[in-house]
Amino acid sequence: SKLIKRILNIIGSFIEYSSFERRGVFALLFILFLFLGYYFVRSNISYTKMPLDEDALASFQEQLDKKLGERPTYENKISQYTKKENSKIALQLFNPNFDSQEELINKGVPARIAQNIVNYRSKGGAYKSKEDLLKLYSITDVQYAKLEPFIAIPITQAERFTKDVQNTPPVKLEIIDLNSASLSELKRIPGIGDVLSERIIRYRRSLGGFNSLSQLEEVYGLRENLQVDASTYFSLDRSKILKIKINTADFKSILRHPYLDYNETKAIINYIEQHGAISSLSEFKNLHIFRDKDVDRILPYLDLN
C-alpha cells in the first residue's frame, strides 16, 4: 500500500507540471530518440562500392584527348610574324632593297622594322648604304647596331656607273626649263626616274610653276636621289608661273595651292569681303593670319589685278 501511494504521488506530481514544461520534456526526449536512431542506422547499414570500369574510363579519356587536339587554330600573317620574332630567329644577311617582308622576317629582322623597310621602298625610296636604314622611324640606334653587320647592299652595275659619274665632271647636257620640262626630259637627269619625274610634274602643277630651283627639295624623295646640282641641268622661266587672281578667285581655287591652308584661305576671303580688294603685296603680308609666318614664298604666286 505504501508503494502504491508513492507511485500515485509521483504521478500526481507529474500531472501538476504546466503544459509548457511537459512539451519541453517531450521535445528533449524526441531529440534524444533521433540521435539514437541515427547512430543505430549508421552502425548497421554497410555501403557497397560501385565497381569502377577501367576500360570505359580509358576510352573516355582517349576521346577527350582527340577532341581537344582537333581544335582549330586561326593565325594571320601578323601572328605568324610575331611568333617568328618571339622565337628569336638568328640574324642572316639581308638585302633591304630586294627582300620581301616575309623574307626579311625569316632572316631575323624584327617584324615592325621589316614592314617599314618595305613601306619605304614602295614609296620610291632606296637604300644606297647601310646608314639609310636609320631614316626609318621604327629603328633605334641599338637595333641598328645589331642589324648593321648583316645588311647586304651589293654594288650593281648601275651603281658602279653612278659612282663613276660622281667621280667625274658631269656631262653638260642641254639645259632645260624646269617649268616646261617633259617626263622624258626629266628622266634624263641622273637620279630622276619614272616615279620622281611624275612627282616633279605633279608638284609643279599644284604650285602653278617653280619660282626657285630650291623648291625641288619639296618633292618627296628627290633630295635623297638627285645626284647632281639642279642648276647643272635646269633653268627657270618664271613667266610661265600660273598666278592666283587673289581678289576674284573662289575659296577652292585659293585653298588648292600647297602654301596656303584652310584657315589662311578663310582669312583672305573674309578680309576681301570686309575691306575690298587687296591692292598691294605689303597689304597682303600685313594680314593678321600671316604675322610671324614665312609669307614671302606665296607672294610670287599672287596676281592682285
Q: Beta-carbon neighbour count of residue 239 at 10 Å?
A: 7
Residue 231 above 60 pLDDT? yes
Residue scoring higher pLDDT (45 or 209) = 209
Residue 86 above 50 pLDDT? no
Residue 102 is placed in which grid cell? 616575309
DSSP string, 177-220: ETTT--HHHHTTSTT--HHHHHHHHHHHHHHTS-S-GGGGGGST
The reported pLDDT for the residue numbered 24 is 72
Residue 146 is placed in which grid cell? 645589331
CA-to-CA distance for 23 and 27, rounded, in angstroms? 6
Residue 81 above 60 pLDDT? no
pLDDT mean over 35-43: 75
CA-to-CA distance for 166 and 164, rounded, in angstroms? 5
How far apart, in Å, are the Cα atoms of 189 and each of 203, 276, 297?
A: 17, 47, 26
Burial 194-208 (b: 16+ CB within 10 A, else e): eebbebbeebbeebb
Q: Which residues are CB-neighbours of 285 under 8 A, at least 6 positions away?
A: 295, 296, 299
Residue scoring higher pLDDT (154 or 250) = 250
Q: What percent of the chain is predicted at pLDDT more than 70?
A: 71
Structure confidence at residue 146 as a pLDDT band (50, 70, 90) = confident
What's the whole-model pTM score?
0.44
Q: Which of 127, 99, 125 is nearest to 114 (CA)?
A: 99
* Burial (0-12, 13-18, 19+ Cβ within 10 Å), 49: exposed
Residue 158 above 50 pLDDT? no
Residue 164 above 60 pLDDT? no
CA-to-CA distance for 281 and 187, rounded, in angstroms? 37
Phi, psi for 177 (deg, rounded to 5) = -75, 125
CA-to-CA distance for 292 and 271, rounded, in angstroms? 18
pLDDT mean over 233-240: 91
Query: 91 with 147: CB under 8 angstroms?
Result: yes
Three-state DSSP class for 121?
helix
In this predicted model, what pLDDT tens digit does every residue of 105-118 receive, in sequence order? 998 999 989 888 99
